[in-house]
Amino acid sequence: MRRIAIIAWHAGVLAGAALMLYPLLWMVVSSLRPEYQIPGNLSLWLAQAPLWENFASGWNALARPFGVYVLNSTIVSIGAVVGNLIACSMAGYAFARLSFRGRRLGLGIVIATLLLPGYVTFVAQYVMFSKLGLVNTFVPLILPKFLAVDSFFVFMITQFIRGIPRELDDAARLDGCGYIRTFFSIIVPLIRAPLATTAVFTFLWTWGDFFSQLVYLTKEDVKTAAVAIAAFADPDASTEYGPMFAMALLTLAPIFIVFTLFQKQLVRGIASTGFK
């Protein structure tokens, strides 16, 4: 490409990127501004020293200190990650390597549920968990992950294990390893890539999830950060923008951190499976 074309390319792409990021950057700056400076102010430049007070007042603006909600989000997200890692890899190994009756049927079920929309089972699940007295606990949000209901990950791990040379696990069994020990000592170390993808996406989805957390968590003490900050949208609440943006940023921070640390896994995961 000619020099001038390269410069034009950079200018165009940069302008687009700036437009995409502008609202986000504006939110960051606004969270550090006094309230009267926020509406109508397009500048990304802080006129005075950053006002950290917004974080302090936002922290205490809701029914509980914001730490309670962050902790709840953390418990739910970590629980979901652990559940998916264990259950989906176990199922993936069984489908990829073991021959047993009903294997084809099982794989068929996995694929059939790949595209099953969540809302068609959601109401019935709610009825079930509510009869068991588990509404306002984390069980409805975490337990399904320990039961490998996220077929995407089961399928992804199954496909990955199929690509591993069988000689490796055969060799392990020659050394007297049973199938389950082979799984833990041979397969698990070899499937770190799909496990990382599983962990990253499970975390992002669970942390960012709103619908199911809104339905299951209605008491203040169990609310997650996503459910809690939704209170800022309450038309009756006279919320200031500064504290609201401050807390909104706190809930986005983990997503941003995971994004910067695990870009490779994210891109690989999206490219191979089409996840968001």
Partner 1 sequence: MTVTLNPDVHEAGTARRAKRSGHERAQGRAAAILLAPWLIGVVGITAGPLLYSLVISFTKYSVITSPEWIGFDNYVEALGDDRLHKALQVTFIYALVGVPAQLVFALLLAVVLNRTLRGTQIYRSIYYLPSLLGGSVAISLLWRQVFGGSGLVNTVLGHVGIEGPGWLTDPDLALFTLILLHVWTFGSPMVIFAAALKQVPEHLYEAAKVDGCGPLRQFRSITLPLLTPIIFFNLVLQLIGAFQSFTQARIMTDGNGGPADSTLLITLYLYQQAFTSFRMGYASAIAWILVLIVGAISALLFITQRRWVFYDD
CB of 59 or CB of 208, closer to partner 1:
208
Task: Check: CB of residue 52 under 8 Å from CB of residue 28.
Answer: no
Residues 169/182, Cβ–Cβ less than 8 Å:
yes
Decide: 210 and 100 in contact? Cβ < 8 Å.
no
**Does residue 165 belong to the site contacting partner 1 (CB under 8 A)?**
no
Any contact of residue 23 with partner 1 (CB under 8 A)?
A: yes
| C-beta of 1 vs 47, nearer to partner 1 | 1
Does position 9 interact with partner 1 (CB under 8 A)? The reply is: yes
Check: CB of residue 232 under 8 Å from CB of residue 69.
no
Span 237-266, contacts to partner 1 by CB under 8 A: 241, 244-245, 248-249, 251-252, 255-256, 259, 263, 266
Contacts of 209-212 with CB under 8 Å at 24 or more apart are 212/122, 212/140, 212/141
Report the site for partner 1 in 116-135 (rule: CB under 8 A): 116-128, 130-131
| CA atoms of 276 and 265, how far apart (whole Å) | 12
Site for partner 1 in 90-109 (CB under 8 A): 90-91, 93-95, 98-101, 103, 106, 109
Site for partner 1 in 174-233 (CB under 8 A): 174, 178-180, 183, 204, 208, 210-211, 214-215, 226-227, 229-230, 232-233
Q: Looking at beta carbons only, is 74 or 125 nearer to partner 1?
A: 125
59 binds partner 1 (CB under 8 A): no
The residue within the footprint of partner 1, chosen from 87, 156, 186, 191 (CB under 8 A), is 87
Alpha carbons 209 and 223: distance in angstroms, whole number: 12
Contact 58, 240 (CB under 8 A): no
